[in-house]
Structures are given as structure tokens and as C-alpha cells.
Amino acid sequence: MTVSAVALRKSCVLFVKAEQSSALERSSDRAWGTSPPRRNFVFVVNPRGANGRTGREWNKLLPYLRTRLGGQHNIHESLTSGPSHAVDITREAIREGADAVVAVGGDGTLHEVLNGFFWAGKPICPIDGDCKRTTTLGLIPLGTGSDFARTFGWKNDPHDAIERIAKGLRSKIDVGLINGSSGDQYFINIADIHLSAKAGYYSSKYKSFGNLCYVFGALRAFFGHHNHDLKIKVNGQDWKVYDKVTALCIGNGRFFGGGMEVVPTADPTSGKLEVVILQGFRWYDFILKLYKLYNGSLLSEKRVFSRSIKSIEVAVVEGKGDIFVQSDGEHLGFLPIKCSVLPGAIDFLM
């Protein structure tokens, strides 16, 4: 997707201006020789997230954030102007030497900020060339679903998030890399294929209904849905055919669709991804088994298969068959895809 050059220029100027003042603040810290260096935190805010709630909450939150974090941090605020803008803001911030880039919004915003940590298949380095100095990824979950935060038991509560940021605890977490029809894409939560991806595609059209968007999206995806035979290659071994696949989920995180625990064994610090394959499901199975999706017991179902992987390739067995693919709730295109884990690729503020 293209980004408005004007909007991008504006965001860069905003960051550069704040950088100049922070450089001054840093030198005065050093002159006194007492305080630790101030840290540059860039907050990438999607004002349209959660149907505009993110922007409204952020405006109320910013004065508190400045009070709580302003003593040790330079706070840089950057609002997105449209889809993909968060990718560009993040790349610019890392090149300028930001200590942390914090996504403020839902999983879509987090996904874009994550993708801003990479360029041409490699992590982005600061302009001064010091690639050992890593930028940390942070999150203030304020989206419709905010599903990645659920893996850590976090709520959509921005004050909790600010406390976590203030504590500054960091942990290395894994990232998934997908190579498909849209080129390289990184994901932090779940990549999924077929029915759930189609439901995600449609639910994005109903975000104005809040969490109900997932119900409407699922209902629309069921119309004309057929389970499909897929061939799958795990960890570079031989292709194996899985018949009547309803959905296939590759989890770094555990939840999607506004709280469905579809990959209950996923752990973003494990160095692996967990794959869950649902086979032969009919529409009424979802009604009967919906509670299992919400209480994390789906793996007890006979037609649900799960395993840990380092890499996976998925393709249709015959013909083209437009099988939807999404990652972190964002539509990515259609099969085939290759996917692998990048263990500990990101420093994350926990």
C-alpha cells in the first residue's frame, strides 16, 4: 500500500524536532553527571483504531503518560494518517535511534509497527550504524480485539500498560515470517488460513460494530465455504496432504477474533510456532463447539490436530482455489505461503 508522502514527511519532521530537544536534554544530564540518560520513546497511535476510540482514549491519556514517564523519557507522539503509515513511522524512528517504539491501538497497528522493525529481510539499524543498539517494541493495547495482549493476560487498560512501560522490563520474543503473494510479512500473534482468514477479512468491514464484527465476519465467511484439501510441508520434510481443512492457524500468540483461544499451546518465548489444523468442520460444529474456542479446550476435539514447528509451507492440492491468508488479523492474500519462526527476534516491553 502507498503512504502519503506529505504525511510521512510530517511524521519525520515531528520526530526530528523532538530528537533535537532530546539531544539537548541528554547533554544537560551528562553535564550534571547524576541522572541516567533520558530514553527516546516513540508512541505510534492509530487514531482510527477501535472505531475511533483509540484516538479519544489517547487524547485523555497523553497528559498522564507525560507525567508518569516524562521524568526519564522523551515522549514522541506520532499519529498515523492511514493504513501502513505506522510501518514508515517506525522505520524512521529506529533509524533516528529511538530506544522504544510503542504501538498504541489494536493488533493491526501492532502488526504494522512490528513490520517497521524490518526492511528487505533484515532488522533496521540506526543511521549512526550501531546495529547492536536495539530498539524495543512496546504496546498500549487499545484496539477492538487486542488479541496479542491476551496471551500475557493483559487487558485493554492503558494505565496498566503505562505501568509496564515505566518498569521497563524487556524480554526477547519470537516473530513469524511469512513469504506469500504479498512478499515478506512479519507477524507477532497468529497467521491463519482459509475460513478464519476469510472471516477476518469480512470482520474488518464491520469494525464499527465493535466485537460483534467477528460474529458478522464469521457468518458472512460461512456462506459458500467449502473445506479444502491442502498440502503441508513441516520443517522441510515431505509434503503431506490434509483433507477437508476448515482452517489452519499458526500461533506465536494464543488468541484471535476478539478472545478465541485457538492456539492454546502457543508461547511467544518458546522459539517455535504452534500449528493448529481444523478438519471437516461444518457451520453447526462452530455453534456447538464455540465455547471450546473461548475456553481454550479446542485441542480436545477429534478433528483438531496440533504440533510445534520451526517452518511450514502450505498450498492447495489441486487448482488455484482462492484460499484466504491473514496474519495478525490483516488480509495477506491467498495460498501458497511459506512461514518460519525468527526466535527471539524482537525485544518486547513486558
Ligand X SMILES: Nc1ncnc2c1ncn2[C@@H]1O[C@H](COP(=O)(O)OP(=O)(O)OP(=O)(O)O)[C@@H](O)[C@H]1O
Among all residues, which ones are annotated catalytic? 107
What is the x/- site pattern for ligand X, positions 108-137, by CB under 6 A? xx--x-------------------------
Q: Can you read off the three cell numbers belonging to residue 128?
A: 549512526
Q: How far is the CB of 146 from ligand X (least distance, A)?
A: 5
Cβ contacts of 238 within 8 Å, gap of 6 or more: none
Contact with ligand X (CB under 6 A) among 73, 102, 106, 281? 106
- 82 touches ligand X (CB under 6 A): yes
Span interacting with ligand X, options 25-33, 75-83, 116-124, 288-296, rule CB under 6 A: 75-83
Span interacting with ligand X, options 28-36, 46-54, 173-181, 277-285, rule CB under 6 A: 46-54
| 291, 292, 293, 294: CA torsion to nearest 10 | 50
- 330 touches ligand X (CB under 6 A): yes
3-class DSSP assignment, residue 306: strand
Beta strands 239-251; 304-309: pairing state: unpaired
- 257 touches ligand X (CB under 6 A): no
- 194 touches ligand X (CB under 6 A): no
- Give the nearer residue to ligand X in terms of CB position, either 212 or 299: 212
- 107 touches ligand X (CB under 6 A): yes
Q: How far is the CB of 197 from ligand X (least distance, A)?
A: 14
Contact (CB, 8 A) for 222 and 157:
no
Pairwise CA distance, residues 337 & 193, whole Å: 10
Contact with ligand X (CB under 6 A) among 77, 83, 170, 233? 83
- 192 touches ligand X (CB under 6 A): no
Q: How far is the CB of 250 from ligand X (least distance, A)?
A: 18
The CA–CA distances, whole Å, from 346 to 60, 115, 117, 291 equal: 29, 11, 9, 33
- 207 touches ligand X (CB under 6 A): yes
- 236 touches ligand X (CB under 6 A): no
- 274 touches ligand X (CB under 6 A): no
3-class DSSP assignment, residue 124: coil
Q: How far is the CB of 284 from ligand X (least distance, A)?
A: 26
3-class DSSP assignment, residue 283: helix
- Give the nearer residue to ligand X in terms of CB position, either 253 or 264: 253
Report which DSSP code applies to 182: T
- 246 touches ligand X (CB under 6 A): no
Pairwise CA distance, residues 314 & 339, whole Å: 9
Q: How far is the CB of 159 from ligand X (least distance, A)?
A: 18
- 143 touches ligand X (CB under 6 A): yes
- 57 touches ligand X (CB under 6 A): no
Contacts 24+ apart (CB under 8 A), 88-92: 88/3, 88/8, 88/11, 88/116, 89/8, 89/11, 89/15, 89/42, 89/44, 89/116, 90/42, 90/44, 90/115, 90/116, 90/117, 91/116, 91/119, 91/124, 92/8, 92/11, 92/12, 92/15
Span interacting with ligand X, options 62-70, 106-114, 123-131, 294-302, rule CB under 6 A: 106-114
Pairwise CA distance, residues 280 & 63, whole Å: 52
Span interacting with ligand X, options 47-55, 161-169, 226-234, 306-314, rule CB under 6 A: 47-55
- 158 touches ligand X (CB under 6 A): no
- 329 touches ligand X (CB under 6 A): yes
84: left (phi over 0), alpha (psi -120 to 50) or beta: left
Q: How far is the CB of 10 from ligand X (least distance, A)?
A: 12
Pairwise CA distance, residues 36 & 21, whole Å: 17
Contact with ligand X (CB under 6 A) among 40, 78, 80, 185? 80
Q: Can you read off the three cell numbers belonging to residue 190?
A: 497468529
Summarize as ranges the residues that interact with ligand X (CB under 6 A): 46-50, 80-83, 85, 105-109, 112, 143-146, 207, 329-330
